[in-house]
Amino acid sequence: MDKFLKLQQEKAEWENLNKLLMRHGLKPVTLFASQSCRNVSDMIVLDSQSSLGIRLALKTLVEDADRQQKMMQGLMETNRSLRDEIRQERGRASRQEQRANDLENVVKNIKSKICQLEDETIARVCQQQSQVKELQKDQQVSQAKYQQQQKKLQEQEEIIAHLQKELCKVGMEEQQRVATQNKTFCQFCKRAPKSLLDQRFFEDGCSRAVWDLCSPAVVAEP
């Protein structure tokens, strides 16, 4: 009875092992009872101990294969992840390179604009300096003309003052001459003609007085 149970247990273990082998794509081990074996030339007869050792060895090999398979799958997954990371890193590196190139182009454009602005500023400063020099030159010319006009104006004012002085002098002399003529005329008028000789003398005196009053005064030029 114990031997039968052992055989049944051993058979169950071989069946479980065969399922494991077939699950891994291996051929199962075919078991035959010793009573049914007629031609043992194509068979291997194992005692219980050897059968147990082979089962353990096969199970160990399958488990090792499972571990190696899982390890291979893990390595493949890791490799796939590394490839994905490398691809992503390459994409990031490419984008960063493109961004760096864009920034470099921007820097070049900025430097070019700065150089252009510097050239324009230098040209503008030179032009302004030239304009300042021209304005200073024009200011000097205008200042010289102004001083010249001031000098002429001063000379004209001196001439006008001199003429006004001479005119005032001539006016006073004219007033004195008119006063003298009026006085002489009054003296003639006071004298009454008493004879024909006095009448002619009176008329001649009046004519000379009128002529003196009508004659323009001669003014000497300065």
116-139 pLDDT per residue, tens: 999 999 999 999 999 999 999 999
What tokens does 197 get? 């000789």
pLDDT (average), residues 25-40 = 65
pTM for the model stands at 0.39
Whether 217 and 174 have beta carbons less than 8 Å apart is answered as yes
**What one-character DSSP code corresponds to residue 21?**
H
Q: What values do phi and psi take at 215, rounded to 5?
A: -70, 135
Residue 39's pLDDT band (boundaries 50, 70, 90)?
Answer: low
- Angle at which helices 196-214 and 48-190 pack, to 10 degrees? 170
